[in-house]
Amino acid sequence: MKTYLVGGAVRDRLLGLAPGDRDYVVVGQTQAAMEAAGFRPVGRDFPVFLHPTTGEEYALARTERKSGRGYRGFVVDADPSVTLEEDLGRRDFTINAIAEDTHGALIDPYGGARDIEARVLRHVGAGFVEDPLRVLRAARFMARFAVHGFSVAPETLALMREMVDSGELAELVPERVWQELRRALASTRPSAFLRTLHDCGALAVVLPEVEALYGVPQRAEYHPEVDTGVHVELVCDMAARLAPGDDLIDFAALTHDLGKALTPAHVLPRHIGHEQAGLAPLRVLCERLKVPTGHRQLAEAVCREHLNVHRFDELRAQTVHELIARCDGFRRPERIDQLALVEHLNVHRFDELRAQTVHELIARCDGFRRPERIDQLALVCEADKRGRAGLAERDYPPAAGLRAAHAAAMAVTTGDLREGLSGPAIGEAMRRARIAAIAAATGKR
């Protein structure tokens, strides 16, 4: 049995990276022979087997012929006559088309080792255009390998543009798009995924809500990078830095500013109310890609609340402003002298006003029932604030303030409440106790 180590394990070793799963190609064998040797078949679309001892994957050498549109339109030939070179020739990129025999010698008919040395992502051959999923795979590989200096070969990028123009990306099912997106967001440089898709025109097809952000200006004093699309790239990379490998955090980072694409031209570069405006396109994106509930819920919380978290130290001022406005105190200043009569309970609780606003923010994010949500919210908001040109190393005090307030509120238990309460009175007493705890915690800051 002629077996060869192939794909990622060979590529990563040549890059000096820790290899992941080891996959093998078997040449000159049949399915019956593999099963007779004790290998367990697991492949649905082509012959793949698990080694009886190691559990590693062994696939019969095969070729693929295009038979229809989309990434499933292929006829597979795994005849024993298929050579190793033919099997490697059906692969996507040269860096993935390298094999290693049992003696450690490389079989590299398409120059993958040379491209690894040059840090170039290059397609193997003309068959690349037959699978539209490879456009997303190219972008996802860039998200992983851009940090090692890789770039897409110009001829490969041109081919990707042709594939986009052909309309075949519309054949991709949402689950496969989400799978590639999720893996890219868990990589070290998610911005490279977005930039690669943007440069070849594919972002407008698979993530039109994100593509719409490119070219939208922001106020330079807050966003030195100006372009909202560039800002989102920076935020995604900062999220990957703060929470490595966490696609949940990075998805919320990716979608936090979708509302800025909807800002009327005459308002630019300001984006008044973009946090609320972003909820509708976010929900459309999540429905289309069948995004998991947890990702969707965190993304909505971040989209809606990120400005409130940035203004954490202003929350009491915001609540006081609302109190004065309710009393018409800006149009009729004398009303403030009469405020004790109009809003007497709120005036008595003046020191609790920010705590009440913070409590409401935590509750809106389901932070009492799902405590992890608040730390996630703080992380993404920090990524948003630091994901700006020249501001990556700035401190972000609101994150610590929000976490401290949440921890203080979560420390309150029913045992801290007055005895004899029942029904709704328990809930209200818990709310008041949590607000008092938040007031005490934030008052120390």
Distance set, CA 97 to CA 20, 48, 163, 301 (Å): 16, 18, 21, 43
Angle, CA of 185, 190 and 191, to the nearest 5°: 150
In a domain, 184, yes or no: no
Distances (CA, A) of 17 to 8, 9, 14, 23: 10, 9, 8, 16
Same-domain pairing of 211 and 120? no
Per-residue tokens: 57: 């994957």
Is 82 a domain residue? yes
Instruction: Give the model's pLDDT for residue 108.
Output: 97
Check: CB of residue 278 under 8 Å from CB of residue 259.
yes
pLDDT at 189: 98
Kindly give the residue spans of alpha helices, DSSP state H, lying in 170-214: 174-185, 190-200, 203-206, 208-211
Q: Which residues, including other chains, have CB under 8 Å from residue 442's CB and lie 6 or more apart?
A: 354, 355, 358, 401, 404, 405
Q: Both 239 and 365 in a single domain?
A: yes
| pLDDT for position 347 | 43
Neighbours of 290 (CB within 10 A): 12
Tens digit of each residue's pLDDT (9 = 90 or more) over 91-130: 999 999 999 999 999 999 999 999 999 999 999 998 899 8
Where in the sequence is the domain holding 41, given as residue range(s)? 1-125
Q: What is the CA radius of gyration of the chain?
A: 28
Which pLDDT belongs to residue 426?
85
292 and 431 belong to one structural domain: yes
CA dist list (Å): 266 to 214, 217, 263, 270, 271? 17, 12, 8, 9, 11
- pLDDT of 425: 85
Residue 320's pLDDT is 61
Same domain? 349 vs 221 = yes
Q: Is residue 185 part of a domain?
A: no
- 53, part of any domain: yes
> Final residue of a domain: which of 108, 125, 142?
125
* 111/232 same-domain check: no
Does a structural domain hold residue 202?
A: no
HSE value, Cβ hemisphere, 13 Å, CA-based, for 209: 19
79, 97, 125: which is the final residue of a domain?
Answer: 125
| CATH classification of the domain holding 109 | 3.30.460.10
pTM: 0.87
Q: How far is CA 382 from CA 89, 235, 299, 422, in A?
A: 45, 9, 14, 40
Assess if residue 197 is contained within a domain: no
Q: Are residues 283 and 378 in the same domain?
A: yes
Number of compact structural domains in the chain: 2
Q: Are residues 120 and 211 in the same domain?
A: no
Q: What are the tens digits of pLDDT across the range 358-380?
A: 999 999 999 999 999 999 999 99
**Could you tell me if 374 and 264 lie in one domain?**
yes
Do residues 218 and 120 both lie within one domain? no
**Looking at residue 342, what is its pLDDT?**
44
- Same domain as 426, residue 301: yes
Q: Closest Cα partner for 217 from 226, 208, 205?
A: 226
**pLDDT one-digit tens code per residue, 39-69:** 999 877 778 999 999 999 999 999 877 655 5
Q: Are residues 239 and 384 in contact, defined by beta-carbon separation less than 8 angstroms?
A: no
CA distance 189 to 425: 50
**Residue in 273, 440, 275, 426 with CA at minimum distance from that of residue 354:** 440
What per-residue confidence (pLDDT) applies to 313?
A: 73
Same domain, 330 and 211: yes
Residue 10 in domain: yes
Backbone torsions φ then ψ of 229, nearest 5 degrees? -60, -40
Give yes or no: residues 100 and 227 share one domain. Answer: no
Q: Tell me which of 125, 160, 183 is where a domain ends.
A: 125
pLDDT tens, per residue, the chain with 445 residues? 799 999 899 999 999 998 778 999 999 999 999 999 999 998 777 789 999 999 999 999 998 776 555 555 567 888 999 999 999 999 999 999 999 999 999 999 999 999 999 999 999 998 899 899 999 999 999 999 999 999 999 999 999 999 999 999 998 999 999 999 999 999 999 999 999 999 999 999 999 999 999 999 999 999 999 999 999 999 999 999 999 999 999 999 999 999 999 999 999 999 999 999 999 999 999 999 999 999 999 999 999 999 989 888 766 566 666 667 776 777 877 666 655 444 444 444 555 567 888 999 999 999 999 999 999 999 999 999 999 999 999 999 999 999 999 999 999 988 878 777 777 888 888 999 999 999 888 875 4
Answer yes or no: is 162 within a domain.
Answer: no
3-state secondary structure of 431: helix
